[in-house]
Structure 1
């Protein structure tokens, strides 16, 4: 039982049809900006487009913002048929995604700040409001918000700590979804659909529709959309013989109402997102060779469904007060997550421990069910100066209240799923059942300012003071893995974060900046168990960043270069003792790196892009050991467990990532246009965790009796080619795409499946990147 669980035919005809549509495609799509001209633009345009972002909570040109940002526009998301973060993450420098193959089962890290605990390290915003828990008991790092990006205007990825403006849980960076807003100036309806087919998998169908309707001329408008995307299965079950077990679907519904007055505007939005997967996209590998045991197939004794539903409501008020602008952003989110994990090859052998009492016992099937429910209310007020003044300032207050439930249940049955024979069904039928209700309440005050001393020099700074109070209850109601009983725990902490950002304009199209900023991951009450501290402190980091943003040749070439060092301390680390997983503050780590983004438009309609990131992220000292007494088994004996050692690489952080992109736009006759593109993405090798060291020793005098060291698994690097092509007019758009065109077999995550009793590894469970997938889409606007 753990408190932080890290588990892991018409086809050929469709492939031929789509293959013909993309046969002329080149390589790449530029994700750093909206680089491809719109259908109505002139193909002779050679200046790269100007891009507006809201990183500093005000609209600014991305070339003038002193921080590292990547903006992905709606057209680019459509071109590559992005349905989840893993579709575009490798094109963003410094962003890493570990996916279990299903949207919503994603771990996100930036610049080497890996997800070592269940608390969030990368924040998520939808427009003006945060989405996702900052509590330690809602598995924020395992189930990052992963929107089906329909009706999304853009996605901004802010790299580096965002503690002063965006607060808790954004110490590694921020992912910000900007949704399309109601517009009272025009009427639009849109409908579309498509098909997709992965190699050796099913054919999936998707459809979408949307509208923007003015209700009162120049004042009130309604925008509504709905999208459904089938996730075609491609993994087979070696136990039951079933094919394509990982099928599922995503749905997205959103409605927003916007009112625009002379001095104020109000927008209300309601959104529901659902993910429903029948099984995980995990396959079995040979532990020795790392080769698939039977292709895209896995040993599944108990099905592993995944469900995630989120209802999100927001109300944003903007008021022009003359001397300044006032913004109120209110939100409420209700999130339900359910996941079942097959534990048969780990805990299914548990009955063998009782063979002396009953020699008829045989290994059985086991599973873990984890249900998470979260209600979250947030409110932000801020007052900010007008755009373009010599002194730009912003002051604000923020409040968040979370009420969460975490239910974990581990069951043991016979191998065929029927109950164990009496009396063992009552003794071992439930290995563990744990309820963890928790609350998280945060209040914060923040201020940011930037003063332009001259036309060339500008100095910015920010501060934020936050306080959070948390309550937690650990209620073990059944099972043999944990003692029955209830324990309460609380915590409170005050956190101060700051930033300072000087920037200097070298010339009209060239700017350098430096940034020193801090961020934090909230601490909180810990699981109550022998050897674990009662609470963990916040993880804190300080980031030093030096950047250069420049444009050349009449804005035909854009170049961004960023170098950084991040010092991370009091790292929260998930550590397991006697089957109980809690947290400890695990020392220090350093992450250093450089990121480069280049875009070039050599001729009208052709855009080339190159993104690269080098990162060196390592643990600076051994994580502190958890010490557990072994009495009465060994008088005076202790078990010392280190879950990370000095020099370990950060889990799932590659040293090098590269991507190369090409987009070509061609204007045709009668208002039609064509575009061709694609991209190549390279991800270096990684490790799946840190080194674990277990020492059995006599405490007084200290005598080491046994030392066991378990290194992490190494995951090979990979390169993937994506292609796309489209034909469009003012009303019609026809797109074709190929993801992973060479059908590269590579893995996003990997872990060993080992018996808890025997310690024998049965196989490695790995989540492959999506196999070669062909797709075709059509849209009609009227």
Structure 2
């Protein structure tokens, strides 16, 4: 598969570098001004560091040129050169020796982005005009006809967003379950099928660059260090990002290798959770251009100890739920020529969690399970990407190999009375999942300036999931005997052809039509064994399906500042098999669990608008949406104390979301996000245990977040830098823990406060998370086997106060 992709890329390289010629007329002038005019005339985006640009003078250029050639002519003799970093996007680098000795290295200067329209007085406008590839093509954020939020690297850094669950406080539409690090599931706009991951795919797709991270697995919770941006798209993205992304997409874009300059940054932090539990963090980032402007390496490493706060009084262990997250990334970039970039990447991360983090409530008492419930989440990824300019457009091909192991232990005390002579004795049930997938996606995007912008691509994924389940028995603490076991392997193959085109319907209207034609094949083999009873079950089965996921969007550019759109899109998840548990797995249409659970599909309809003030200091975005979800898959079906996947019924819901960003002056940046949502199950499946008019698990009727940042110039101990004060808050309304009977989750609120002093080389910051020390309950049922037996409550992490110091060199 990878060889085929490389061959395809090579074939297109033969016709490379043919670009549409564009009329250009830019006289000799100050270089930064010339770049603004050149970006305007050629409809490209150009980024550059401020150092030296304003002191240089451009060469005059007049005639018809391809954008790259026009840039080269304008930069001739200036000491600067242009390299292409994305379709229609260029970066200006210095070609002169720096004269800086290694011990005089300093932090990178902020990057200024040149793109139409020019509202250079606002950093917010820079963010809006950044070229992003959310929709599989390079587009400015302000022009994307989708409900999308992009969190910049600066924002991630200011608010210490280092884990995916932290995104909840940045965007009001996304939420996460709170089962524990490496166990959580994201969901967008309340499209939730439950708190725990099982055999059903997550409703939200997680991507690291162009690589899908999960299939039917929890969030690997990769550390968000050295991340260029995080993009969150609401609603089905089947035409763009594949089958399972029915609720939306979270796309983490790592910082690429800088081929022009060496840099090094290291940081350390220490914090106190509650009144006694100490955590720590260490990280480093190194960038090395081995061959300047041609080949370079980038390395990231980190080691983080997250202190616990739940005491296990049964075993006499304080702060039992501590966790350890450590890992790193190694990236390589090779600029083969002006139109071809090859990128390689390796990612490794391990999470070791000592215990779960829920409490069992019984009347007025709260206590812990009988045993420790540890969890491991070990994630490995290698990927290769080639991007090249061809005669047809920009070809991008990414091949990845992913290995993911997830181990969890749960307390099975009091369960499985039909299998055990003494079910009241403490004993665990262990789940050990091993996933391995090989994936390739290759796509061609039209060149900048095409009359009908388009892209088309192919997708192939092949892999397997091995699941081993062991119900242990024997001496307490050793549990040397196996009372029940299931060994299962799922082999899953996915194929897809996808594409999209944008049609100009007039001066202000465009119609985007897209679709994804897909096919998949699922093969399952399972062996269930009850040694004591001499019972053994063997099953093998095969499922194949094909389908089409359309995506249609009509955009109206009402004014240069106001864009509106209307869209309809479909997402789907594949069916699958139930095995094990010695349940009577009936055919479809009878009492669940059925041998085959149905695939589900979601249609989302949106009416959205985005407004950008003429000075770029205010943006408003609002979306009305309607969700129609059919045959909802969920892993919340328990029979004989075993967990199965079922179909809960059909859901319908409507809602609204809004996003506001305001920069009243150079010191303040204000963000606010909110969502109103009314999802409910309107047609319960009569063969599934669910209440009439039940809510979707974890789906709140309202949620929101805000942040306020104040930045001012200051001098401390003869060091001049920026003093930054940042306050953020997150609020969610009441929700339900389960589809049917279960505890209600009360509203939740949390406030964080941060302050830092930042120079070119140093950053020193203090922070207080959960400033008011709230203990509000969160969306988590902790132990999937005990959801019908225990009232489990997972409180927020207590107030955590910390200090972080980082030093950068360049």
Output the TM-score relative to the length of structure 1: 0.82
Does 1:546 find its partner at 2:579? no
CA distance in 1, matches of 2:771, 2:806: 24
Deviates more, 1:532-541 or 1:183-192: 532-541
2:651 aligned residue: 589
CA–CA separation in structure 2 for the residues paired with 1:47 and 1:727: 19
Separation of aligned partners in 1, 2:714 and 2:573: 52
2: distance between equivalents of 1:755 and 1:497? 35
2:382 aligned partner: 313
Is residue 142 of structure 2 the alignment partner of residue 60 of structure 1?
Answer: no
Q: Is the 8 A contact 1:46 1:602 kept in 2?
A: no
Q: Does 1:103 align with 2:181?
A: yes
Structure 1 residues 496-575: aligned runs within 5 Å: 496-527=548-579, 529-530=583-584, 531=586, 532-552=593-613, 554-574=615-635, 575=637
Alignment check: 8 A CA contact 1:108 1:115 kept: no
Alignment-derived partner of residue 743 in structure 1: 773
2:202 aligned with 1:156: no
Give the C-alpha shift of residue 278 in structure 1: 0.9
Distance 1:772 1:687 in 2: 25
Deviations 1:282-322 (A, max 9, x none): 22323x45xxx35xxx4242221111111101100001013
**CA distance in structure 1 between the partners assigned to 2:562 and 2:324 by the alignment:** 46
CA deviation map 1:308-363 (0-9, x unaligned): 1111011000010133111111000111111111222545x779x85xxxxxx683
Could you tell me which residue of structure 1 aligns to residue 722 of structure 2?
673
Give distance in 2, aligned partners of 1:309 and 1:546: 41
Residues 178-229 of structure 1, C-alpha deviations (whole Å, 9 max, x = no match): 0011111111011111101111342111111111111112111111110111
Please report how far the alpha carbon of residue 114 of structure 1 lies from its aligned counterpart in structure 2 after TM superposition: 0.8
Equivalences for residues 299-310 of structure 1 within 5 A = 299-310=368-379
Q: How many residues align?
A: 674
The correspondence for 1:331, drawn from 377, 400, 410, is 400
CA distance in 2, matches of 1:97, 1:606: 29
Contact 2:627 2:654 in 1 (8 A): yes
Q: CA deviation at 1:572?
A: 1.8
What CA distance in whole angstroms lies between the structure 2 residues aligned with 1:780 and 1:712?
Answer: 49
Alpha-carbon contact 1:201-1:235 (below 8 Å) kept: no
In structure 2, the residue matched to 1:222 is 297
* 1:3-24 deviation line (CA, Å, top 9, x unaligned): xxxxxxxxxxxxxxxxxxxxxx
Matched, 1:658 2:704: yes
Sort the Cα spacing of 1:497 and 1:760 in 2 relative to 1 into closer, same or farther, 3 A.
closer
Say which SS state the counterpart of residue 48 (structure 1) adopts.
helix
Q: Shift in Å at residue 750 of structure 1?
A: 4.7
1:645 and 2:691 equivalent?
yes
User: 2:279 corresponds to which residue?
Assistant: 204
Q: Aligned to 2:211, which of 112, 129, 142?
A: 129
Contact 1:657 / 1:683 at 8 angstroms: preserved in 2?
yes
Query: C-alpha displacement at 1:754, in angstroms?
Result: 11
Alignment of 1:88-487 (within 5 A): 88-100=167-179, 102-116=180-194, 118-133=200-215, 139-140=216-217, 143-260=218-335, 261-286=337-362, 288=363, 293=365, 298-346=367-415, 354=421, 363-413=424-474, 416-417=476-477, 429-479=481-531, 483-487=535-539
CA contact (8 A) 1:434 1:478 kept: no
In structure 1, the partner of 2:748 is 718
Which ranges of structure 2 fall in alignment gaps of 5 or more residues? 1-107, 113-119, 587-592
Residues in 2 aligned to 1:596 and 1:320: alpha-carbon distance in whole angstroms: 38
CA contact (8 A) 1:107 1:115 kept: no
CA separation of 1:41 and 1:484: change in aligned 2, threshold 3 A: closer
Q: How far apart are residue 680 of structure 1 and its match?
A: 1.6
In structure 1, distance between residues paired with 2:395 and 2:783: 54
Q: C-alpha distance in 2, partners of 1:768/1:482?
A: 43
Is the alpha carbon distance of 1:233 and 1:752 closer, same or farther for their aligned partners in structure 2, counting shifts above 3 Å?
closer
Distance 1:569 1:561 in 2: 26
Q: Given that residues 169 and 729 in structure 2 are in contact (C-alpha distance below 8 angstroms), is that contact kept between their aligned partners in structure 1?
A: no
Alignment deviations for residues 618-639 of structure 1 (CA, whole Å, 9 cap, x no partner): 00112131xxxxxxxxxxxxxx
Structure 1 distance, partners of 2:494, 2:788, is: 45
CA deviations on 1:600-652 (whole Å, 9 max, x unpaired) are: 11122201121100111100112131xxxxxxxxxxxxxxxx32233101001
- Counterpart in the other structure of 2:734: 685
Q: Distance in 1 between matches of 2:359 and 2:190?
A: 27
Deviations 1:560-600 (A, max 9, x none): 00010011112223423334433333331112110011111
Tell me what 1:707 maps to.
Answer: none
C-alpha RMSD of the superposition: 2.4
CA–CA separation in structure 2 for the residues paired with 1:673 and 1:107: 37
The residue that corresponds to 1:766 in the other structure is: 793
Pick closer, same or farther for the CA change 1:114–1:737 going to 2, 3 Å. Answer: same
Contact 2:271/2:279 (8 A) holds in 1: yes
Give the Å deviation of 1:418.
Answer: 5.7
Identify the residue that residue 671 of structure 2 maps to in structure 1: 609
Structure 2: how far apart are the matches of 1:267 and 1:725?
Answer: 36
Residues 362 and 304 of structure 1, relative CA distance in 2, 3 Å threshold = closer
TM-aligned CA distance change 1:560 to 1:611, over 3 Å: same
Residue 733, structure 1, aligned to residue 763, structure 2: yes
Query: Is the contact between residue 474 and residue 488 of structure 1 (CA under 8 Å) also seen in structure 2?
Result: yes
Structure 2 equivalent of residue 576 of structure 1 = 638
Mind listing any 5+ residue stretches in structure 1 that lack a counterpart?
A: 1-37, 134-138, 355-360, 420-424, 626-641, 692-710
Q: Answer 1 or 2: higher relative contact order, Cα 8 Å, separation at least 6.
A: 1
1: CA distance, partners of 2:472 / 2:746: 35
Offset, 1:54: 1.8
Aligned partner of residue 798 in structure 2, secondary structure = coil
Residues 753 and 406 of structure 1, relative CA distance in 2, 3 Å threshold:
closer
Change (3 A) 1:252 1:49: farther
Structure 1 pair 40–333 and aligned structure 2 pair: CA distance change class (3 A): closer
Which secondary structure does the structure 1 equivalent of 2:683 belong to? coil
Higher mean displacement: 580-589 or 330-339: 580-589
Deviations 1:752-778, CA, capped at 9 Å, x for gaps: 98998xx995x5322222211111111
Q: Please give the secondary structure, in 2, of the residue aligned with 1:768.
A: coil
Q: Distance in 1 between matches of 2:228 and 2:178?
A: 24
Task: Determine the C-alpha separation between the residues in 2 that align with 1:480 and 1:325.
Answer: 62
Judge conservation of contact 2:273–2:799 (CA < 8 Å) in 1: yes
C-alpha displacement of 1:661? 1.5
Aligned residue for 1:243, secondary structure, equals coil
Name the CA shift for 1:481/1:202 in 2 (closer, same or farther; >3 Å).
Answer: farther
For residues 348 and 236 of structure 2, the distance between their equivalents in structure 1, rounded to whole angstroms, comes to 29
TM-score normalised by L of structure 2:
0.80
3-state SS, counterpart of residue 664 of structure 1: strand
Query: For the structure 1 residues 534 and 240, does the alpha-carbon distance in structure 2 shift closer, same or farther, using more than 3 Å as the test?
Result: closer
Question: CA separation in 1, counterparts of 2:733 and 2:323?
Answer: 30
Q: Report the secondary structure of 1:76's partner residue.
A: helix
Q: Cα–Cα, structure 1 residues 389 and 754, in superposed 2: closer, same or farther, change >3 Å?
A: closer
